[in-house]
C-alpha cells in the first residue's frame, strides 16, 4: 500500500501541493494577524505576571537583608560601646597594678624580711582558699 493511499481524502492534505500541507500544519506565511496578536499579548501578559512575581520575591529578600543589616549595625555599635568601656576599665586596672608593683618593690627594697614573709604567707593562704572553693 502506497503512502498516498494511507492519507484520507477528507484530511485536506494534497500530495501534489506540499505548500497546502505545510499551511495546514503551520499556518500561512502571513498568518492570521488577530491570532498572532492575541498569542503575543498572552505571552507578554504571562511574562509580565512572572516578572511581577519575581520582583515581589526580590522585594521580600531585600527587606530581609535590610533588616539583617540594620541588626548587624546595631550590634556592632553596642559592641564598640562595650569595648570602649572595657578599655577604660583595663586602663584603670593597669594603673592600679602598676602602683601595687611599685609598693611591692618598695617593700622588698626596704629589707624588712618579716613583712615579706607575712606577705608570702597571705598570698599562699589566698590561693589555698580559692583552690578549696573551686573544688
* pLDDT tens digit sequence for 33-80: 567 888 888 899 999 999 999 999 999 999 999 999 999 999 999 999
- Give me the mean pLDDT over the 15-35 stretch: 61
Which residues fall within 8 angstroms of residue 21, CB to CB, at 6 or more apart? Answer: 13, 14, 15
Domain ranges of the chain: 1-31, 44-134
- For 104, residues 6+ apart whose C-beta sits below 8 A from its C-beta are 119
Q: In this predicted model, which residue has the larger pLDDT, 35 or 82?
A: 82
Assess contact for 56 and 48: CB atoms under 8 A. Answer: no
Asked if residue 12 has pLDDT above 70, the reply is no
Per-residue model confidence (pLDDT) at position 14: 47
- Say yes or no to pLDDT of 5 above 60: no
- DSSP characters for 21-74? HHHHHH--SS--HHHHHHHHHHHHHHHHHHHHHHHHHHHHHHHHHHHHHHHHHH
Per residue in 83-126, pLDDT tens? 999 998 888 899 998 998 888 787 777 767 777 788 889 999 99
Residue-level pLDDT at 17? 62
Amino acid at each position: 500500500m502506497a503512502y498516498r493511499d494511507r492519507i484520507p481524502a477528507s484530511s485536506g492534505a494534497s500530495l501534489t501541493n506540499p505548500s497546502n500541507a505545510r499551511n495546514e500544519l503551520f499556518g500561512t506565511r502571513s498568518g492570521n494577524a488577530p491570532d498572532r496578536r492575541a498569542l503575543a499579548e498572552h505571552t507578554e501578559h504571562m511574562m509580565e505576571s512572572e516578572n511581577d512575581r519575581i520582583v515581589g520575591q526580590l522585594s521580600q529578600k531585600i527587606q530581609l537583608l535590610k533588616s539583617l543589616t540594620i541588626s548587624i549595625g546595631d550590634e556592632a555599635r553596642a559592641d564598640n560601646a562595650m569595648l570602649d568601656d572595657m578599655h577604660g576599665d583595663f586602663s584603670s586596672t593597669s594603673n592600679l597594678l602598676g602602683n601595687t608593683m611599685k609598693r611591692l618593690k618598695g617593700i622588698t627594697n626596704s629589707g624588712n624580711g618579716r613583712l615579706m614573709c607575712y606577705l608570702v604567707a597571705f598570698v599562699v593562704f589566698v590561693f589555698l582558699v580559692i583552690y578549696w572553693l573551686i573544688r
